[in-house]
């Protein structure tokens, strides 16, 4: 590993391409901590948004009008407002209303830190799209297939578990992948409330070292890499689940 | 009709929420301070102007991104393979890079002024930011164009070829006119994504609605203003985006029936 | 009050008391409307155990609806439907008990596209009846052998021909070991060769003594295999009887008219 770090030091001396995040141990430590934060932020939001999407789509299928109205309200509100303002609203305004935790020596800190609010906002934002995606997937399962299962004696729960959900998942996977990839890209917003994720630490590094160009390029490579790995994994899942003769519904941006 | 009723109910709900938050703030506010409503009213014109800048940025970025994306999308289908591969790589790159990172890239790395021939064009921050937003739009439009064209039955190409159209004529006279309609809903979706990305430019200091709201909040320095001010900003964006979203959904349904 | 009910046995009790004579399926005065369209206007029909009954009639006369009322896919508005002693018209119907006995095959096959042919056949016994997996698999393999599709056991429905899919759909229903099978125009989407495959599969079932009710436009098949033919028009059973009678000397002018328009 040391050889690699030394090569970057040489790159700086010989060619003026300055990437201290590889050869300087302090910058390296904060850069990779930022990378880890971005990965954690993305992973938590992706999982939570899928759970929210499933619950929302399920509630839309229930007979309770109140539940359906609430889900509709949530979906419309989060889909049609800028995520950055959602984040600021939740972090600054709502966070300000929550009780504070008393620390040692009379100091106090907020109940939820920036990282937690970023996860909450991203999950709600991504989840609002997932609700629609899952719902349209469920709706695309043909009524005749459901009837066939009913006439074989499947009850409501087993019908969902073995027929509707497996088909709906396959149908909506492309749209879901698209949305999850977007969610990872949106995680950069956490920068705005000072969560030390990849963009934030990179900005610290470039303002300390004045190597904007190098850091920018590194950052782009890092994000394209993260997004690439996620979309590769999702595409593999799509291929693994693909069955002949089953179409998909179109993806959104 | 139904859409109107739903959005009407929604609007009432949002306004109710706003009023409740204002009332809540009034109760919290210290005695003798100015009323929250009056304070918000004072700032409304300035923030409203900021919001117009959001719209301006979105329109310019959408136009730039669409023109560039159309070229890139056609490049993705070029019979010349180096061009095709280059266009595909560029498209994937701008689709997969986070918007905020591309924005920083343009803000920090574009020059302050550009020479076009003998003309010196100044590049203020908001122009650079607009270019930064146009880049991901370009990548996405390129994909929309490719998807729209490839969704057409291949028989269309064959029959045009049988009628002795050349490739260029086929594309402009047969394929694109048919592909435009199904491309419209995703393109409008993209515009909605773009307008909701415009507050990002506040991070790099452009004085749009979000920047000005934060400015007003720090000038007033009253914590009970946080909730209603941010809520009002959210409602402003909602009022602009929601009708577009409904319209898009309607077009989507209309075109889906035809398939 | 309770005593009087106990003294006069319910129809279901009568049915089980004389199993050989009681009909497998009995419909009396069944009515069904969708909104303002009256689809069934008092259908009365009874099907003997082990018989093959063919339902024929013009398009839109309510044949599919009639079939769907028998396994409660469509709830009836009025009248009684009794299947193997189960009161299907009863709102408190135990659907699972009914559907264990009654299998249904559809015109569009409706296989589960995400499961292979073998899995399609095994799914309901495993998940609905909660039977032992190995036992079910052995039975499914036997069924696929019977319909001559064992070599396609691991194909997905999308990779099978229409006739093959339809036979898998029949095997899927049979895996539940029903005593009654409903077929709704199961050969309508198939070409003549595949029609033969499917009809011969149905003929085998009839020989095993499974009660079959078919909606069909295959008059030749009806004539050859049916024990009873039933002609419906405008939501009522106009005429029923053995095929020789219906096809050669129909009594009702509407039946005559309909048969005059079909080719054999
Ligand atoms: N779910 C429903 N909602 C409304 N109307 C229905 C429904 N199902 C059937 N119908 C109507 O009931 C009538 C009878 O339909 P049914 O499917 O039973 O006819 P059929 O005899 O099977 O015709 P075909 O031979 O064309 O299959 C038709 O007029 C149809 O439009
Ligand atoms: Mg029918």
How long a stretch of residues is chain B? 259
* A145 Cα to chain C: minimum distance (Å): 5
- Report how far residue B64's alpha carbon sits from residue C25's, in angstroms, rounded to the nearest whole number: 71
Cα torsion A123, A128, A131, A137: sign: negative
Q: Are A98 and A112 in contact (CB under 8 A)?
A: yes
Inter-CA distances, C264 with A128, C63, C223, C258, Å: 58, 20, 10, 12
Contact: B96, A227; criterion CB under 8 Å: yes
Ligand 2 midpoint to CA A165 (Å): 28
Task: Report CB contact under 8 Å: B108, A73.
Answer: no
Ligand 1 atom nearest residue C107's Cα: 27
Q: Give pLDDT, residue C8.
A: 41
pLDDT at residue number B9: 67
HEC string of chain B equals CHHHHHHHHHHHHHHHHHHHHHHHHHHHCCCCCCCHHHHHHHHHHHHHHHHHHHHHHHHHHHHHHHHHHHHHHHHHCCCCHHHHHHHHHHHHHHHHCCHHHHHHHHHHHCCCEEEECCEEEECCHHHHHHHHHHHHHHHHHHHHHHHHHHCCCCHHHHHHHHCCCCHHHHHHHHHHHHHHHHHHHHHHHHHHHHHHHHHHHHHHCCCCHHHHHHHHHHHHCCHHHHHHHHHHHHHHHHHHHHHHHHHHHHHHHHHHHHC
Task: For chain C, list residues whose CB is within 8 angstroms of any CB belonging to chain A.
Answer: 71, 73, 95-96, 99-100, 102-104, 106, 108, 110-114, 123-124, 127-129, 156-159, 169, 172-173, 176
DSSP-assigned beta bridge partners for residue A109: A101
Token duo for residue C62: 């309510």
CATH 1.10.3720.10 is held by the domain A26-94+112-241: yes
Per-residue confidence (pLDDT) for residue C238, from 0 to 100: 93
Give A143 to chain C, closest Cα distance, Å.
Answer: 9
Chain B residues within an 8 Å CB radius of A253: 140, 144, 186, 189-190, 193
The pLDDT assigned to C76 comes to 94
Domain residues of chain C, as ranges?
Answer: 21-115+178-259
Mean pLDDT for each consecutive 10-residue tract of chain C (264 residues)?
41 45 89 93 93 93 93 92 93 89 90 92 91 94 92 92 91 93 88 83 87 91 90 93 90 89 69
Q: Spell out which residues of chain A touch residue C131, defining contact as CB-CB under 8 Å.
A: none
A242 inside 8 A of chain C by CB: no
* Spatial CA neighbour of A80 closest among B247, B210, B212, B195: B195
Q: pLDDT (tens digit, 9 = 90+) per residue, B134-189? A: 999 999 999 999 988 888 877 777 777 777 777 777 888 778 888 888 899 899 99
Q: Which residues pair with B115 in a beta bridge?
A: B120
Residue B98: list chain A partners with CB under 8 A: 185-188, 199, 223
Query: Cα distance from A161 to chain C (closest Cα, Å)?
Result: 10
Separation of alpha carbons A230 and A234, rounded Å: 6
Tell me how far the alpha carbon of residue B39 lies from the centroid of ligand 1, in angstroms: 65
Residues C107 and C188 sit within 8 Å (Cβ to Cβ) = yes
Chain B residues inside the 8 Å CB shell of A77: 14, 234, 238
Ligand 1 nearest-atom number relative to CA C217: 25
Confidence of residue B38 (pLDDT cuts 50, 70, 90): confident
Note the pLDDT of residue A252. 33
CA of C112 to the centre of ligand 1 (A): 24
Residues of chain A with pLDDT under 50: 248-253
Three-state secondary structure string covering A136-189: HHHHCCCHHHHHHHHHCCCCHHHHHHHHHHHHHHHHHHHHHHHHHHHHHHHHHH
Interface size between A and B, measured as CB pairs under 8 A: 118
End-to-end C-alpha distance for chain C, whole angstroms: 57
Question: If you compute the radius of gyration of chain C from its CA atoms, what whole number of angstroms results?
Answer: 19
Q: Structure tokens of A218?
A: 């590194």
Minimal Cα distance from A145: which residue of C? C110
Is B58:B198 a contact under the CB 8 Å cutoff?
yes
In this structure, what token pair is assigned to residue B71?
A: 């070229």
The DSSP call for residue A132 is H
Q: Decide if C168 contacts C106 (C-beta within 8 A).
A: no
Residues 107-146 of B with CB under 8 A from A: 108-109, 140, 144
Structural element, H or E, at residue A12: helix A2-15
pLDDT surpassing 60 at residue B2: no
SS3 C153: coil
Rounded alpha-carbon distances, angstroms, from residue A103 to A95, A98, A107, A110? 17, 15, 5, 10
Chain C meets chain B (3+ C-beta pairs below 8 A): no
Q: Please list, residue by residue across A114-153, b when 16 or more beta carbons sit within 10 angstroms of its beta carbon and e when fewer do.
A: bbebbbbbbbbbbbbbbbbbbbbbbbebeeebbbbbbbbb
Write the CA distances from B4 to B1, B9, B11, B243, integer angstroms. Answer: 5, 9, 10, 9
SS3 category, C180:
strand
Measured from the Cβ of residue B69, the count of other Cβ atoms closer than 10 Å reads: 28
Q: Which residues pair with C54 in a beta bridge?
A: C214, C229
Verify whether the Cβ–Cβ distance B108 to A212 is below 8 Å: yes
Q: What tokens were used for A57?
A: 């789509």
Which residues 6+ apart lie within 8 Å of A39 measured at CB?
A: A226
pLDDT digits (tens, 9 = 90+) for C131-155: 999 999 999 999 999 888 999 999 9
- N-term to C-term CA, chain A: 40
- Pick B140's closest partner by Cβ from A86, A227, A253: A253
* Domain layout of chain A by residue ranges: 26-94+112-241
Matching residue, tokens 């297939």: A145
> What's residue C15's pLDDT?
43
Which residues' Cβ are closer than 6 Å to ligand 1? C 34, 37, 39, 59-65
- Give the up-direction half-sphere exposure of residue C156: CA atoms within 13 A in the CB hemisphere: 11
pLDDT of residue C264: 59
pLDDT in tens, B79-123: 888 999 999 999 999 988 999 999 998 988 888 877 777 788 888
Could you tell me the pTM of the whole model?
0.80
Contact predicate A175/A184, CB 8 Å: no
Q: In this complex, which of C99, C123, C157 lies closest to A151 when CB atoms are compared? A: C99
Give the minimum alpha-carbon distance from A246 to chain B in angstroms, rounded to a whole number. 16
Which residues on chain B are in Cβ contact (under 8 Å) with A252? 186, 189
- Nearest to residue A182, comparing CAs of C106, C194, B193? B193
For chain A, list the contacting chains (3+ Cβ pairs, <8 Å): B, C
Flag whether residue A3 sits within 8 Å of chain C, measured between CB atoms: no
| Chain B residue numbers touching A81 (CB-CB < 8 A) | 196, 234, 237-238, 241
Residues within 5 A (CB) of ion ligand 2: C 64
Cβ distance of A246 and C103 shorter than 8 Å: no
Radius of gyration of chain B (CA): 23
Q: How many CB atoms lie within 10 A of CB A94?
A: 15
Instruction: Establish, for the pair of chains A and C, how many residue pairs have beta carbons separated by less than 8 Å.
Output: 77
- Interface touch B226/A81, C-beta < 8 Å: no
Give the integer Cα–Cα distance in Å for B133 and B152: 30
Class for domain C21-115+178-259, per CATH? Answer: alpha beta
Q: Please report, to the nearest 10 degrees, the dihedral formed by the alpha carbons of residues B172, B178, B179, B184 taken in order.
A: 120
HSE toward the beta carbon, residue A155, CA cutoff 13 A: 9
Q: How far apart are CA C19 and CA C84, in angstroms?
A: 9
Question: Which chain C residues are Cβ-neighbours of A151 within 8 angstroms?
Answer: 71, 73, 99, 102-104, 173
**Domain B39-215+223-258 in CATH: superfamily?**
MetI-like (1.10.3720.10)
């Amino acid at each position: 590993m040391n050889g690699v770090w030394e090569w970057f030091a040489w790159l700086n001396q010989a060619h003026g391409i300055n990437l201290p995040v590889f050869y300087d141990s302090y910058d390296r430590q904060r850069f990779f901590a930022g990378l880890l934060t971005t990965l954690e932020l993305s992973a938590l939001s992706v999982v939570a948004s899928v759970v929210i999407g499933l619950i929302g789509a399920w509630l839309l299928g229930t007979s309770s009008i109140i539940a359906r109205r609430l889900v509709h309200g949530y979906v419309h509100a989060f889909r049609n407002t800028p995520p950055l303002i959602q984040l600021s609203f939740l972090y600054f305004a709502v966070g300000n209303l929550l009780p504070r935790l008393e620390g040692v020596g009379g100091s106090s800190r907020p109940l939820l830190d920036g990282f937690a609010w970023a996860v909450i906002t991203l999950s709600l934002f991504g989840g609002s799209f997932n609700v629609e995606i899952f719902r349209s997937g469920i709706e695309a399962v043909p009524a005749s297939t459901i009837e066939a299962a009913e006439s074989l004696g499947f009850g409501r729960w087993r019908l969902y578990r073995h027929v509707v959900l497996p088909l709906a998942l396959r149908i909506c996977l492309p749209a879901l992948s698209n949305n999850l990839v977007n969610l990872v890209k949106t995680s950069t917003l956490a920068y705005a409330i000072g969560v030390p994720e990849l963009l934030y630490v990179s900005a610290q590094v470039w303002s300390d070292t004045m190597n904007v160009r190098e850091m920018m390029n590194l950052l782009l490579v890092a994000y394209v890499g993260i997004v690439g790995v996620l979309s590769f994994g999702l595409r593999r899942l799509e291929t693994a689940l693909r069955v002949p003769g089953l179409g998909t519904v179109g993806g959104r941006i | 009709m139904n859409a109107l009723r739903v959005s009407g109910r929604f609007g009432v709900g949002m306004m109710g929420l706003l009023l409740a938050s204002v009332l809540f703030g009034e109760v919290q506010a210290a005695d003798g301070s100015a009323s929250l409503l009056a304070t918000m009213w004072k700032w409304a014109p300035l923030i409203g102007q900021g919001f117009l800048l959001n719209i301006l940025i979105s329109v310019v970025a959408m136009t730039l991104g669409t023109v560039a994306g159309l070229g890139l999308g056609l490049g993705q289908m070029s019979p010349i393979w180096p061009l095709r591969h280059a266009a595909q790589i560029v498209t994937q790159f701008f689709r997969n890079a986070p918007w905020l990172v591309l924005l920083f890239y343009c803000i920090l790395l574009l020059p302050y002024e550009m020479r076009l021939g003998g003309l010196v064009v100044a590049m203020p921050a908001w122009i650079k930011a607009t270019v930064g937003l146009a880049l991901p739009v370009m990548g996405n439009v390129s994909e929309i164009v490719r998807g729209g064209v490839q969704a057409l039955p291949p028989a269309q190409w064959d029959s045009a070829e049988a009628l002795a159209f050349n490739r260029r004529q086929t594309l402009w006279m047969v394929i694109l006119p048919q592909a435009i309609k199904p491309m419209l809903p995703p393109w409008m979706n993209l515009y909605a994504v773009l307008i909701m990305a415009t507050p990002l430019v506040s991070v790099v200091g452009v004085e749009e609605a979000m920047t000005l709201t934060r400015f007003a909040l720090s000038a007033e320095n009253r914590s009970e203003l946080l909730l209603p001010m941010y809520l009002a900003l959210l409602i402003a964006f909602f009022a602009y985006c929601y009708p577009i979203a409904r319209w898009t959904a309607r077009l989507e349904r209309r075109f889906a029936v035809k398939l | 009050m309770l005593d009087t009910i106990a003294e006069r046995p319910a129809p279901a009790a009568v049915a089980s008391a004389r199993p050989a004579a009681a009909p497998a399926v009995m419909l009396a005065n069944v009515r069904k409307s969708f909104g303002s369209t009256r689809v069934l206007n008092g259908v009365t029909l009874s099907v003997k155990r082990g018989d093959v009954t063919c339902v024929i009639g013009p398009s839109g006369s309510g044949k599919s609806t009639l079939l769907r009322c028998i396994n409660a896919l469509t709830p009836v508005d009025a009248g009684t439907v009794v299947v193997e002693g189960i009161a299907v018209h009863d709102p408190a119907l135990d659907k699972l008990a009914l559907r264990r006995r009654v299998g249904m095959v559809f015109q569009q096959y409706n296989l589960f596209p995400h499961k292979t042919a073998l899995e399609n056949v095994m799914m309901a016994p495993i998940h609905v009846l909660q039977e032992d997996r190995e036992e079910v698999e052995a039975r499914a393999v036997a069924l696929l052998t019977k319909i001559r599709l064992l070599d396609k056991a691991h194909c997905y429905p999308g990779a099978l021909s229409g006739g093959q899919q339809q036979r898998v759909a029949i095997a899927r229903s049979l895996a539940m070991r029903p005593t009654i099978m409903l077929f709704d125009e199961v050969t309508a989407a198939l070409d003549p060769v595949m029609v033969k495959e499917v009809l011969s599969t149905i003929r085998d079932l009839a020989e095993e003594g499974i009660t079959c009710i078919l909606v069909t436009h295959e008059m030749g098949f009806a004539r050859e295999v049916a024990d009873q033919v039933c002609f419906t028009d405008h939501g009522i059973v106009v005429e029923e009887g053995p095929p020789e009678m219906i096809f050669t000397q129909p009594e009702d002018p509407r039946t005559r008219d309909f048969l005059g328009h079909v080719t054999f």
